[in-house]
Structure 1
Amino acid sequence: MSAVSVEELKVQLNLDHDLDDALLSSKIDAAEAYAAGFTGVPIPSPCPAAIKQAVLMLASYWYEVREAALVGGNAYAVPYGAHDLLQPHRAWVV
């Protein structure tokens, strides 16, 4: 089960249509994979609020910024704060 639903992401993005549901779902999948890869562990169930917020931020950002290049602004691969939310859940291997 996903940590974030399409409906939750639509609220985050303030979307009121169903036209992009498949795209939103793929952004959620990518964001959850990124979060799990960054932390080094699968997303737990129930999902902690910080991880859920990071997934929402990542999916929203990747929905809004769909191009690899940006002219006239600051391009970020990951939205500011996402790593800060995920950091406490990171599994460190020594």
Structure 2
Amino acid sequence: MTLPNAADLRRQLNLDPDQEDNAFLSAKLAAAAGWIEAYVGEPLAGLDPFPAAIREAILQLAAHLYENREAVLVGMSASELPFGVVDLIRPYRVWSF
């Protein structure tokens, strides 16, 4: 298993497979992977085998970044879903004191 790509994110978002926004989708994936890598505390590329939970977390976070392109949502009431991004990646976090 490897890091997700633009085609994977397109499927996650139920987008038309013929859409030509690979660069934009790839940027969202890179941002999501970077955030998760910082949270976990180690390079994701070094994980072997690559955990399915981290792959899912990257897709969830990248989809969120794609759907919510601003830092603030106005007029929305929301709550975090159980087993969201942080719940998926928490077991892989490297703790240091």
Question: TM-score category by the smaller chain?
Answer: 0.7 to 0.9
TM-score (norm: length of structure 1): 0.87
Choose from 54, 59, 69 the match for 1:56.
59
C-alpha change, 1:68 and 1:75, in structure 2 (3 Å) is farther
Cα gap change, 1:61/1:92 in structure 2, threshold over 3 Å: closer, same or farther?
A: same
- Structure-1 residue corresponding to 2:10: 10
Q: CA RMSD in A?
A: 1.8
Q: What letter matches 1:5 in structure 2? A: N
Structure 1: 4+ residue segments shifted above 6 A: none
Instruction: Give secondary structure in 2 for the equivalent of 1:68.
Output: coil
TM-score (norm 2): 0.84
Instruction: Please report how far the alpha carbon of residue 74 of structure 1 lies from its aligned counterpart in structure 2 after TM superposition.
Output: 3.6
Name the counterpart of 1:36: 37
What does 1:66-77 align with in structure 2 at a 5 Å threshold?
66-74=69-77
What is the CA–CA distance in structure 1 between the aligned matches of 2:39 and 2:66, rounded to whole Å? 20
- Equivalent AA in structure 1 for residue 39 of structure 2: F
Q: In 2, distance between residues paired with 1:10 and 1:18? A: 9
Q: Any unmatched runs of 5+ in structure 1?
A: none
Amino acid of the structure 2 residue aligned with 1:6? A
Equivalent residues, number: 91
Q: Identity percentage over the alignment? A: 43
Gaps of 5+ in 2: none
Deviations, residues 31-81 of structure 1 (Å, cap 9, x unaligned): 1101110000111244200000000000000000001221111468xx641
